[in-house]
């Protein structure tokens, strides 16, 4: 997916993702927030990272463990991000075709990128 198409997708989904996350937090807390917005731990994945991780997961680029390692999170954080973003992609009629490339380690990704030329992928959204 070209970078401008990914940027457009992120901007379309950002507000919905943030709304869904706040709704989930409200339900988890059982009421309104006590601390001001921005208080507490910072999110491990930005909204852009959530969308990118979901796109890479749907492209089947690598294992769950590899993607989690690349984003610096554990697999449960990655799984939550994918489960939040995937329905939103479906709402936007955005289908992500699987890739033919598969990676198991970060070294595999580095070697692939070093030996490949940029390819153009037609966005499916």
Q: What is the pLDDT of residues 99-112, one digit of tens each?
A: 888 888 878 877 87
- Asked whether the beta carbons of 76 and 48 are under 8 A apart, the reply is no
Q: Where are the alpha helices (DSSP H) in the chain?
A: 3-29, 47-58, 64-71, 75-91, 106-115
Query: Going by C-beta distance under 8 Å and a sequence separation of 6 or more, which residues neighbour residue 33?
Result: 25, 26
Predicted TM-score (pTM) of the model is 0.70
Q: Is residue 42 predicted with pLDDT exceeding 50?
A: yes
Q: What is the pLDDT of residues 45-91, one digit of tens each?
A: 899 999 989 998 998 888 888 899 889 999 999 999 999 999 999 99
Q: Which of 16-20, 30-34, 91-95, 99-103 has the lowest mean pLDDT?
A: 30-34
């Amino acid at each position: 997916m070209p970078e401008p198409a990914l940027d457009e997708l992120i901007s379309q989904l950002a507000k919905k993702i943030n709304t869904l996350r706040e709704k989930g937090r409200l339900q988890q807390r059982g009421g309104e927030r006590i601390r001001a917005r921005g208080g507490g731990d910072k999110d491990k994945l930005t909204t852009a990272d959530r969308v990118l991780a979901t796109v890479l997961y749907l492209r089947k680029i690598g294992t769950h463990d590899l993607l989690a390692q690349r984003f610096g999170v554990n697999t449960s954080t990655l799984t939550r991000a994918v489960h939040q973003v995937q329905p939103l992609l479906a709402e936007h009629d955005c289908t992500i075709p699987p890739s033919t490339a598969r990676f198991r380690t970060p070294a595999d990704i580095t070697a692939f990128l070093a030996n490949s030329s940029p390819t153009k992928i037609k966005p499916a959204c």
